[in-house]
Amino acid sequence: MTTSFPLSLPGSQAAVQAGRRLGGLGLALLLPAAILYLWQLAATREWVTPLLLPAPAVVLQALIDLHASGELWEHLGISLGRVGWGYLAGVVLGLLLGAAMGLSKTVEAYLMPSFKAVSLVPVLGWLPLFIMLIGIEESLKVLIIAKAVIVPVTINTVKGIRNIAPGHFEVARIYRFSPLQTLGRLIVPSALPSLATGLRLGLANAWMALVAVELLAASEGVGFLMVHSRQLFQLDMVMASMVVIGVTGWVLDRALQSVEQRLLAWRVTAY
Amino acid sequence: MSNNPSRFDPRGLALPGLVLALWWGATASGFADTRIVAPPAEVLAAALRELTSGELAEGLLASLGRDLAGFALGSTAGLLLGALLAVSGLADRLVSPTLHALKQVALFAWIPLISVWLGQDEAARVLFIGLAAFYPVLFNSHEGIRSVTRELAEVTRVFRFNARQRITRLILPAAAPQIFAGLHLALIYSWLATIGAEYFFKATPGVSTPLLDGRADFDMAKVLYGMVVVGLVGAALNAIASRLEQRSLKWRRSR
């Protein structure tokens, strides 16, 4: 029976994997290349009016123009500033709220139903109320983004703390850990994977909420750039903005992921 | 997150009660300008007015219709494509990188493009909602089906299962937990996208009509009523999804 399974040496496997990765890259680029080719064909033969489908080169030119005029970096800087402040506020509040509810059943009993009720209404549902209360100032964007971040951060913090085995807390008690030691040596390291999940979900939510709020109520930022271009019917600019939003979202996620990996690697070596 | 969600704990009412009392006190004492901050009683009156006018049923029907249409569209596409990518390594390597790249574009960033291509019609709304439902189902069914172990697949080969038997007796039951998790997420996202679609594509009627009208008329009572409706519908959809998920997986476990 066992002879039917292919046996392979680790060395040859690595070579095969490297080859496969190279082949994988080629395959991965095939579909985008085909799409680009069709898009180019559709644009040059004018299957669709250029007003509705600008050629790829035109979109690229729009992207270059946005960069050259500095407009891109200005709008992106404003957007990133909003995400930064909103994310920071959401993470700090989410961690505090999650830790309080995770560590104390009493706090959870008082706060969890209200928290659930608040998180039931999606971010966009809060927007009209917030606009009425604080106008469409900067604080509106920060508040909306913070709301989008708090929910996943809090839920995952509570989950991470609740999943710590009760036995570990007993060990900490036997060793007479101070509350600070219990936090630093037991709670934070054990809850870290779940915390990291919350932080990543929060960042993705923050970026999505930023785009939504900038489409609806802003006069600067990448979302505004997009909706403004759409009003002027400049589809090349709309598509260029989509590329910027996609790439920025990817970079943000990647950056957080590398921080997360470093933190989790530290956790493994600490044991 | 409590151990027994069905048991009612009155401590949970303390904070809402406090907020309500402060809100009532602030508006009754004149501390807050009642032209801006609506008193609690006015919200209740607005809710009664809306409920008796029949607009709620109309809006609810329209919103749920487009929500479920988009959900069905997006999750069917996600399930089929996810299954294909899981079964065929070639398709996976060909398509997955592009899908991952496109996923990086934040959901709402598709709205301007969709609105140019499809206009402000119902088709545009349903497509946008479908896009929101598509990705969670795609990734979860992909993962779920890929996690079917090789040993089990070999057993089906030994028993000479045909393709249909392999799908209904092996793949679907084994991948069910992940597929349902994906569908559940998709239901939540499509409700968010429904609200978004009604904001951006100016849909009337819909559940977000009170939110949009209330904001335009500076009628906070209407806005708060609208928020409650949106929250309750989301909660109901979530509860139904959980119930269905549990029931389907219970069937699986009992086998």
Is residue A5, in this structure, part of any structural domain at all?
Answer: no
**Cβ contact B71:B129 at 8 Å:** yes
Is residue B16, in this structure, part of any structural domain at all?
Answer: no
Is residue B2, in this structure, part of any structural domain at all?
Answer: no
Is residue B180, in this structure, part of any structural domain at all?
Answer: yes
Query: How many beta-carbon pairs below 8 A join chains A and B?
Result: 149
Reported as a pLDDT band with limits 50, 70 and 90, residue A267 is: low
pLDDT for A90 equals 97
The yes-or-no verdict on residue A3 having pLDDT over 50 is: no
pLDDT for B109 equals 94
CA nearest B207 in A: which residue?
A: A125
The yes-or-no verdict on residue B1 having pLDDT over 50 is: no
Complex ipTM value: 0.85
Q: Could you read off the pLDDT of B173-228 as tens digits, one per residue?
A: 888 889 999 999 999 999 999 999 999 887 678 889 899 988 888 889 999 999 99
Reported as a pLDDT band with limits 50, 70 and 90, residue B89 is: confident
To probe the interface with B, which of A129, A201, A226 has the most B CB atoms within 10 Å?
Answer: A129
Distance in angstroms (rounded) separating the CA atoms of residues B161 and B156 = 5
Identify the CATH number of the domain in which residue B226 sits: 1.10.3720.10
Is residue B168, in this structure, part of any structural domain at all?
Answer: yes
Do A250 and A172 lie in one domain? The reply is yes
Do A207 and A128 lie in one domain? The reply is yes
Mean pLDDT in residue range A45-63: 88
Mean pLDDT in residue range A73-86: 96
The yes-or-no verdict on residue A269 having pLDDT over 90 is: no
Is residue A80, in this structure, part of any structural domain at all?
Answer: yes
Q: Could you read off the pLDDT of B125-143 as tens digits, one per residue?
A: 999 999 999 999 999 999 9
Reported as a pLDDT band with limits 50, 70 and 90, residue B36 is: confident
Do A191 and A219 lie in one domain? The reply is yes
Alpha carbon of A120: minimum distance to chain B alpha carbons (Å)? 5
Is residue A113, in this structure, part of any structural domain at all?
Answer: yes
Is residue B250, in this structure, part of any structural domain at all?
Answer: yes
E strand residue ranges, chain B: none
Mean pLDDT in residue range A236-263: 91
B12: nearest CB among A32, A112, A245: A112
Q: Is B15 close to A114, i.e. CB distance below 8 A?
A: yes
Q: Is A27 close to B94, i.e. CB distance below 8 A?
A: yes
pLDDT for A109 equals 93
Q: Could you read off the pLDDT of A173-190 as tens digits, one per residue?
A: 999 998 888 888 889 888
**Cβ contact B58:B205 at 8 Å:** yes
Provide the number of structural domains found in chain A. Answer: 2
Is residue A242, in this structure, part of any structural domain at all?
Answer: yes
Is residue A4, in this structure, part of any structural domain at all?
Answer: no
Do A23 and A109 lie in one domain? The reply is no
pTM exceeds cut of 0.90:
no
Domain boundaries, position B87 = 39-254
Provide the number of structural domains found in chain B. Answer: 1
Distance in angstroms (rounded) separating the CA atoms of residues A23 and B59 = 52
Identify the CATH number of the domain in which residue A145 sits: 1.10.3720.10
Reported as a pLDDT band with limits 50, 70 and 90, residue A8 is: very low
pLDDT for A244 equals 95
The yes-or-no verdict on residue A195 having pLDDT over 60 is: yes
Domain boundaries, position A162 = 56-269
Q: Could you read off the pLDDT of B137-175 as tens digits, one per residue?
A: 999 999 998 888 778 888 888 888 888 888 888 888 888
pLDDT for B174 equals 86
Is residue B164, in this structure, part of any structural domain at all?
Answer: yes
A211: nearest CB among B109, B208, B223: B109
Reported as a pLDDT band with limits 50, 70 and 90, residue B251 is: low
The yes-or-no verdict on residue A193 having pLDDT over 90 is: no
Q: Could you read off the pLDDT of A126-135 as tens digits, one per residue?
A: 999 999 988 8
Do A145 and A166 lie in one domain? The reply is yes
Do A33 and A134 lie in one domain? The reply is no
pLDDT for B253 equals 57
Q: Is A30 close to B94, i.e. CB distance below 8 A?
A: yes
Do A168 and A182 lie in one domain? The reply is yes
The yes-or-no verdict on residue B114 having pLDDT over 80 is: yes
* Average pLDDT score, chain B: 88
* Average pLDDT score, chain A: 88
Is residue A23, in this structure, part of any structural domain at all?
Answer: yes
Q: Is B230 close to A122, i.e. CB distance below 8 A?
A: yes
Q: What is the DSSP string of B166-232?
A: IIIIIIHHHHHHHHHHHHHHHHHHHHHHHHHHHHHTT-SSSTTHHHHHHHHTT-HHHHHHHHHHHHH
Angle formed by the axes of helices B111-118 and A235-269, nearest 10°: 150
A125: nearest CB among B14, B101, B230: B230
Reported as a pLDDT band with limits 50, 70 and 90, residue B236 is: very high
Q: Is B16 close to A27, i.e. CB distance below 8 A?
A: no
The yes-or-no verdict on residue B44 having pLDDT over 80 is: yes
Q: Is A208 close to B108, i.e. CB distance below 8 A?
A: yes
Most confidently modeled of A27-36, A94-103, B55-64?
A94-103
CA nearest A243 in B: which residue?
A: B105
Is residue B108, in this structure, part of any structural domain at all?
Answer: yes
Alpha carbon of A227: minimum distance to chain B alpha carbons (Å)? 6
pLDDT for A44 equals 86
Alpha carbon of B94: minimum distance to chain A alpha carbons (Å)? 5
A29: Cβ–Cβ under 8 A, 6 or more apart, which residues?
B97
The yes-or-no verdict on residue A6 having pLDDT over 50 is: no
pLDDT for A16 equals 67
pLDDT for A2 equals 39
Q: Is A229 close to B112, i.e. CB distance below 8 A?
A: yes
Do A130 and A175 lie in one domain? The reply is yes
Most confidently modeled of A69-73, A88-92, B94-98?
A88-92
Alpha carbon of B250: minimum distance to chain A alpha carbons (Å)? 24
Q: Is A129 close to B106, i.e. CB distance below 8 A?
A: no
Reported as a pLDDT band with limits 50, 70 and 90, residue A12 is: low
Alpha carbon of A195: minimum distance to chain B alpha carbons (Å)? 16
CA nearest A106 in B: which residue?
A: B11
To probe the interface with A, which of B104, B118, B194, B195 has the most A CB atoms within 10 Å?
Answer: B104
A215: nearest CB among B1, B95, B200: B200
Do A224 and A91 lie in one domain? The reply is yes
Is residue B19, in this structure, part of any structural domain at all?
Answer: no
- Report chain B residues whose CB lies below 8 A from the CB of A245: 105-106, 109
Do A126 and A187 lie in one domain? The reply is yes
Is residue A103, in this structure, part of any structural domain at all?
Answer: yes
CA nearest A251 in B: which residue?
A: B104
Q: Could you read off the pLDDT of A104-144 as tens digits, one per residue?
A: 999 999 999 999 999 889 999 999 999 998 888 899 999 99
Q: Is A110 close to B16, i.e. CB distance below 8 A?
A: no
CA nearest B211 in A: which residue?
A: A128
Q: Could you read off the pLDDT of A207-223 as tens digits, one per residue?
A: 999 999 999 888 899 99
pLDDT for A211 equals 94
Q: Is B231 close to A32, i.e. CB distance below 8 A?
A: no
pLDDT for B147 equals 83
Angle formed by the axes of helices A105-120 and A71-103, nearest 10°: 140
Q: Is B16 close to A117, i.e. CB distance below 8 A?
A: yes
Do A94 and A169 lie in one domain? The reply is yes
Do A45 and A176 lie in one domain? The reply is no
**Cβ contact A77:A84 at 8 Å:** no
Distance in angstroms (rounded) separating the CA atoms of residues A197 and A77 = 26
To probe the interface with B, which of A29, A31, A48, A252 has the most B CB atoms within 10 Å?
Answer: A31
Q: Is A28 close to B2, i.e. CB distance below 8 A?
A: no
Mean pLDDT in residue range A243-248: 94
pLDDT for B255 equals 45
The yes-or-no verdict on residue A5 having pLDDT over 60 is: no
DSSP B29: T
